[in-house]
Amino acid sequence: MKYELSQKFIFEAAHTLHRTVDAVGSRRIHGHTYHAEITLRGEPSQASGMLQDLGDVRQKIERVRNELDHHFLDEVPNLGPATLENLCKYIYTGLVVHCPDLIAVSVERPSSGDKCVLRMNNLQNSNSN
């Protein structure tokens, strides 16, 4: 049986964004409360009964979260423009080494209704059905 195990976390950050719609406000430094969620998929270990210990997952998340929380995202190395898409990719890249069963990362801004999901379908880390 395959299980999906998720963990949510929140971070606050500021950024600018060069775009053509809402350009004036986007180019000014502004901030958001971001809600992120990662999802692991696989089979629990027979010894522990867990896909991955959530305490361990939280520690790995905290490392990546600390790179983003209360930071100016324009200055975060390897992030690129602070889009929801790039935030999903950044979180995925920072966690997949420690969480090889990682299959999805979502980042949303509930106050504006925006959400992005990066889903890894049938790649090496999803252990094909």
Question: Which residue ranges form the domains of the chain, and what is each CATH number?
Answer: 3-126 (3.30.479.10)
Give the three-state DSSP class for 90. Answer: helix
Query: Which pairs count as long-range contacts for 44-52, CB under 8 Å and 24+ apart, including other chains?
Result: 44/3, 51/3, 51/5, 51/101, 52/5, 52/99, 52/101
Task: Identify which of 41, 6, 50, 44 has the alpha carbon closest to the alpha carbon of residue 129.
Answer: 41
Q: Is the pLDDT of residue 25 over 80?
A: no
Q: Is the pLDDT of residue 127 over 70?
A: no
pTM for the model: 0.88
Highest mean pLDDT among 16-20, 27-31, 93-97: 93-97
Instruction: Show the beta-strand stretches assigned E in 1-129.
Output: 3-15, 30-42, 71-72, 102-109, 114-119
**Strand order through the sheet with 3-15:** 71-72, 3-15, 30-42, 102-109, 114-119
Please give the pLDDT value at position 114.
94
> What is the average pLDDT value for the chain, to the nearest integer?
89
pLDDT digits (tens, 9 = 90+) for 110-121: 998 999 999 997
Please give the pLDDT value at position 27.
72
* Helices 84-95/54-68 angle, 10° precision: 130
Q: Is the pLDDT of residue 129 over 50?
A: no
The predicted model gives 9-25 an average pLDDT of 80
